Amino acid sequence: MNLKPKITVVGSINMDLVTITNQLPKMGETLMGSQFKMNPGGKGANQAVAAARLGADVRMIGCVGNDSFGQTLKQHLHDEGVNVSDVEPVTGQTGTATIVVSGGDNCIMVVPGANERVTASFVESKREVIAESDILILQLEIPLEGVQKAVEIASEHDVTVILNPAPIRELPAELIKNINYLTPNEHEYMLLQKGLTETELKEKVILTKGSQGVAFYKEDKEVSIPAYQVNVVDTTGAGDSFNGGFAVALGSGLSVSEASRFGNAVAALSTTKLGAQTGMPRKEEVEVFRKQFEGNEPR
């Protein structure tokens, strides 16, 4: 993996507003919280940071509001090594996720804000960026029309497309046709499989199973790649870390099997630290981690 693949991410950019409390409030109830944190988030931004930390040449296409959150998030992406020339401030608010955490439970309210401006026409204006990419990564936290346009452009220029179908929704057949890899978790897969043919399920789906690893089909046979066993601190962002790692490995010329193993390692390491983006490992960390398992990787 000595190459530096060109990866473009079209997706969401959010500020996560996290309140930690001993008890979730009921409707009309006011409780005291113990901690409050503001963390960079959004599945698009998460996956862009994951790929950039692994050494890829990453460009982010998306929208933030013309508010302080937008300025902070764009600067953060830049500091992480992501090219933000195509992250545009628009009139309005930056997307937010308000998260209340209590013990092992939480409730989340997402306000898309500026992410809703990632429309087909906006994506069309970024045609050249997508066309020059090795890999295009997408999720479903932006309008579906924006996703469709990005896939259309990528298909016209033979760019490999990875769609992380989250949050899950019904996908048009034409969209699925032009996607190379779908990376659902088990919940998303149960809903997604109703709209896919058996051939599409076997040729396109890379199923992420958390602590159980990854599964996919190869030559009509199911392949299961176990996860690395680590001391888990926080699973937030593990799926996004896998997608970033999988994309970088594919873009560097590795097979689907090897890319899945690499993605597994990235995801495992991300769970050993707190936070989504803050917990994502760098390329050197992954290399050191994998060396510990040389000749004895999970199989």
What CA–CA distance (Å, rounded) separates 85 from 67? 18
The dihedral sign for the CA sequence 125, 129, 134, 135? negative
What CA–CA distance (Å, rounded) separates 210 from 233? 14
**Shortest CA distance to 44 belongs to which of 19, 77, 89, 70?**
77
Task: Judge if the upstream peptide bond of residue 167 is cis by omega within 30 degrees of 0.
Answer: yes
CB-count burial class (<10 Å; 0-12, 13-18, 19+) for 2: exposed
Rounded to 5 degrees, what are φ and ψ at 184?
-80, 160
Catalytic residue among 57, 86, 134, 240: 240
**Shortest CA distance to 90 belongs to which of 108, 120, 109, 117?**
117
**Catalytic residue flag (residue 240):** yes
Using an 8 Å Cβ cutoff, are 25 and 111 in contact?
no
Place of tokens 């088990």: 186
Taking each continuous run of H as one helix and of E as one strand, the counts in the chain are 11, 13
Q: Which residues are catalytic?
A: 240
